[in-house]
Amino acid sequence: MKPAAKSATGPAAKSAAEPAAKPVIPTPPMPVVLKAVALQKKFGAVVAVDDVSLSVRQGSIFGFVGPNGAGKTTTLSMMTGLLRPSAGQVLVGGFDVWREPIEAKKLLGVLPDRMRLFDRLTGAQMLYYSAVLHGVDREKARARIRDLGDVLELDGSLQRPVRDYSIGMVKKISLATALIHAPRVLVLDEPFESVDPVSTSQFVDLLRRFAAGGGTVILSSHNMDLVERLCDEVAIIVAGRILAAGTLDEVRGPTSLEERFVQLAGGHAAVEGLEWLTTFSD
Amino acid sequence: MVDHVLRLKLALLTSSFRSGPTLNRTIAALALALAVAVAVAIVVLGATVDVANAEHRAGIVIVGAALSVALAITPLTSGLGSAMEPRRFASFPLSPRRLAVSLGAAAAVGVPGVLAILLGVGLESAWSETPTGGAAVVAGVLAAAAIILTSQYLVVVGIQLAVSPAARQLVTAMARAVIAVALAVAVTTVLVVRSGENGDTLVTVAGTLANTPVGMLWAAPGSDLAALLARLLGGAAMLAVLIAGWGFIVTRLLVSPQRERAVHHAAGLGWFDLVPATQAGVIAARSLIYWTRDARYRLVLFALPIAPLLMMLAFAIAGTPVPPLWLLPLPVLALFLGWFAHNDVAYDHTALWVHVAAPLKGAADRWGRVVPPLLIGVPLIVALAPLLALWSGVEGVLPALIGVSVGLLLTGLGVSSVASVVGAYPAPRPDGGPFDQPPTLGVRAGWSQSLALLATVAFMTPALVVAWWGFTEPEWFAIAGIAGVSTGIGMLLLGIIIGGRAFRRRAPELLDLVLRT
């Protein structure tokens, strides 16, 4: 297997020595559709994301995992044109997201975390709005609203204002909003958060079908099991740097992804510091 | 029965001072302080007013009418939550007639009721020891009863309107605004009477009010015998109608179902079906939905007519001849309607990401956002201008009025198209009340607001100056009209081009701004 996504280059790689050499299975490599080069984001003096480089190949599902505040949302926002990077470059289908935003954004479908929708619109209006903003015509938009409503089981709620939706329903309509213009690359920030198990498995099926048809998915999640089940490739980001990246097997090694993640994120050290917790006050 | 409802009313009154959030208690205390101040003012004015003086008589009519309006609307200001609404008693085995009587009596108890009675007493004390003292007693009683009953009607109407929390907030806010205006009118009138100038204006205004339901009873004791009888009879008839109607309404409300917000289940896409399927088209449809449904925009739509009218009133009381003042409301309204859009992007809050993530042309975003104010403003100007021009009595002013108003609206929108990108500042959140302000408003807000207003007026100055010349040489009016419209179109196009470029460049920074608020 060829390492589809190169591990982070430059200073970020020093802590994560990934064995690059592996037996190569001769499949023609798919083209890289999303490439981030040395992305950096500073907020004042604080460096939130430093030197993040990634390559995601067409047809893959790429999982982006990291502890809270590691810079997942910041990185994904920079990749989708929502947050201007302090340095670095993002290419989607060969177009620079920050130099040729119109061309690049046509190829992108985005589900950001913790941002509202125009929630006075009904679900159907919201989907139509996003479709037309991405250049879909009226008839196609209507047909796709029906299809997405069926697949995500939204059809009963599409005529209600989005502000009346539950959090899980908002995630569903957000996913549909990201999908409606048939993007080449889907960037989903925490798509499974507060989604019930039935809907999660709907999402998973949908994303697998999307990837099998030549689409590409980048998603962030806290749910390691789900990432292990769904993703072909993963990157672990801690404190703004990518500590490990590659195929799922390369990153997790002989252990599970969760163990590897906790090991890289330094979770054990934190727990060790709390000896007083077991001295029990009685 | 009556005493039960009264006891409930008293319990409700005291409960607002008992426990609960400090803020609520503070507001209740402030409201009570205001009520006491008004009461003291009524007593003092009633005792000191000199009914032999025509200006003082005019003052009684204007202040009485203003306070009547304020008192009738007062029950709407306390949020309607504990309002004594007939339907709340529907589940009790009461006859509608007895309920109507009890509610009417209960309305007299409580701050507005007491103040209304005091207002009646004030009228009586003003006219006591004069030949029409007896008429004043009758007028005072009728007026107090009419105010109290009217307030009950308004509560019912308010509750019918307040079908959602946002609508309830809106009703409360508007009621407070009306009271503020009414109190301002009363205070201004007292000051003008005491200054001893502009007595003619006062007498004219009072004369007009005396022939309307809000003023006739206050004017009755000062009228000659025929008018006095007519006004007292009119007042009695008004009260009779109110009483009969009250019984009817209570009966109807007890048997009719609660009005709820109609749930839309139409399969269509609403405005989106009517606009072209382009970026600018859908943004226009979305803006229209927000302008008509979002409390933050609706508040502005309701407040817009008030500012020009207040200005007119202020000028009129200060002694400017009234007819030319009719030229004032439309340009002022157009100016503020165009100016209001100067922070439109921030009103999207984080939903702005939908625009930032899309391959959106900046000019399309700008065009879409100016559609609602254009759709509201231009027809309003074209429809009202002929009427106002006629009332103004200024020969040939119509083209200038239309041109200057359209020019102010369009120029304002052009300026706003740039300002909402380069001068955006934190706005109230979409889920908050219309009066909620973000904690970090900063100086930027002040700069943006004043510069946007100044820039609009500055760009329109040539047209305004030409219009001013028209008052001496009327042929300038037509030129002012053309100048206004051309300035407007030019500035709107320019604003959209510049604003569009700026939006494309700065959209991520705008998103960053709303994310931090």
Tens-place pLDDT, residues B380-391: 898 889 888 888
How many whole angstroms separate alpha carbon B177 and alpha carbon B172? 9
- Closest residue of chain B to A120, computed from CA coordinates: B290
Contact across the interface for B354 and A80, Cβ inside 8 Å: no
Q: What are phi and psi of A51, to 5 degrees?
A: 55, 50
Range among B385-389, B471-475, B482-486 with highest mean pLDDT value? B482-486
Q: Which tokens sit at B279?
A: 């970026």
Q: Does A105 touch chain B (CB under 8 A)?
A: yes
pTM of the model: 0.67
Which of B293, B351, B357 is nearest residue A116 as measured by Cβ atoms?
A: B351
Does residue B163 have a pLDDT over 80?
no
pLDDT confidence of residue B166 = 64
Q: List the alpha helices (DSSP H) in B423-475.
A: 442-470
- Closest residue of chain A to B364, computed from CA coordinates: A133
Identify the residue with better confidence: A188 or B79.
A188
pLDDT confidence of residue B266 = 45
- Test mutation, A129, A134, A138, A139, chain B, max B CBs within 10 A: A129
Contact across the interface for B357 and A112, Cβ inside 8 Å: yes
- Please, which pLDDT band fits residue A255 given cuts at 50, 70 and 90? confident
pLDDT confidence of residue B176 = 82
- Test mutation, B272, B287, B365, B513, chain A, max A CBs within 10 A: B272
What is the per-residue pLDDT across B182-206, written as a single tens digit (0 to 9) for each?
888 888 888 888 777 777 878 888 8
- Please, which pLDDT band fits residue B97 given cuts at 50, 70 and 90? confident
- Please, which pLDDT band fits residue A15 given cuts at 50, 70 and 90? very low
- Test mutation, A76, A111, A120, A163, chain B, max B CBs within 10 A: A120
- Please, which pLDDT band fits residue A17 given cuts at 50, 70 and 90? very low
Contact across the interface for A133 and B358, Cβ inside 8 Å: yes
Which chain A residues are Cβ-neighbours of B165 within 8 angstroms? none
Which chain A residues are Cβ-neighbours of B288 within 8 angstroms? none
What is the per-residue pLDDT across B495-511, written as a single tens digit (0 to 9) for each?
999 999 999 999 999 99
Long-range pairs for B239-246 at CB < 8 Å and ≥24 separation? B239/B142, B239/B145, B239/B146, B239/B149, B242/B146, B242/B149, B242/B150, B242/B153, B243/B104, B243/B149, B245/B153, B246/B100, B246/B104, B246/B149, B246/B152, B246/B153
Does residue B264 have a pLDDT over 60?
no
Provide DSSP, B40-99: HHHHHHHHH--TTSHHHHHHHHHHHHHHHHHHHHGGGGG-STT---GGGGTTS---HHHH
Contact across the interface for A132 and B511, Cβ inside 8 Å: no
What is the per-residue pLDDT across B299-342, written as a single tens digit (0 to 9) for each?
888 888 887 888 888 888 887 787 888 898 999 999 999 999 99
- Please, which pLDDT band fits residue A268 given cuts at 50, 70 and 90? low
Q: Does A113 touch chain B (CB under 8 A)?
A: no
Which of B263, B349, B358 is nearest residue A105 as measured by Cβ atoms?
A: B358
- Closest residue of chain A to B267, computed from CA coordinates: A159
Q: Which tokens sit at B312?
A: 């007119």
Long-range pairs for B476-483 at CB < 8 Å and ≥24 separation? B476/B400, B477/B396, B477/B397, B477/B398, B477/B399, B477/B400, B478/B396, B478/B399, B478/B400, B480/B399, B480/B400, B480/B403, B480/B404, B481/B399, B481/B400, B481/B401, B481/B402, B481/B403, B481/B404, B482/B399, B482/B403, B483/B403, B483/B407
pLDDT confidence of residue B23 = 52
- Closest residue of chain B to A146, computed from CA coordinates: B267
Contact across the interface for A83 and B511, Cβ inside 8 Å: yes
ipTM score of complex: 0.85
The torsion of the CA quartet B3, B5, B6, B12, rounded to 10 degrees, works out to 150
Identify the residue with better confidence: B127 or A96.
A96
User: Which of B491, B490, B487 shows the shortest CA–CA distance to B463?
Assistant: B487
- Please, which pLDDT band fits residue A272 given cuts at 50, 70 and 90? low
- pLDDT over 90 for what percent of chain A? 59
Strand partners, A56: A34
Contact across the interface for B358 and A101, Cβ inside 8 Å: no
pLDDT confidence of residue B262 = 47
Q: Does A140 touch chain B (CB under 8 A)?
A: no
Which of A82, A105, A114 is nearest residue B359 as measured by Cβ atoms?
A: A105
Q: Do the strands A32-43 and A185-189 form a parallel or antiparallel pair, or are they unpaired?
A: unpaired
pLDDT confidence of residue A144 = 94
Identify the residue with better confidence: B309 or A124.
A124
How many whole angstroms separate alpha carbon A73 and alpha carbon A82? 10
Helix (H) or strand (E) holding A84: none
Q: Do the strands A108-111 and A95-96 form a parallel or antiparallel pair, or are they unpaired?
A: unpaired
Q: Does A258 touch chain B (CB under 8 A)?
A: no
Mean pLDDT of chain B: 84
Contact across the interface for B430 and A116, Cβ inside 8 Å: yes
What is the per-residue pLDDT across A209-252, written as a single tens digit (0 to 9) for each?
999 999 999 999 888 889 999 999 999 999 899 999 999 988 88
Which chain A residues are Cβ-neighbours of B510 within 8 angstroms? none
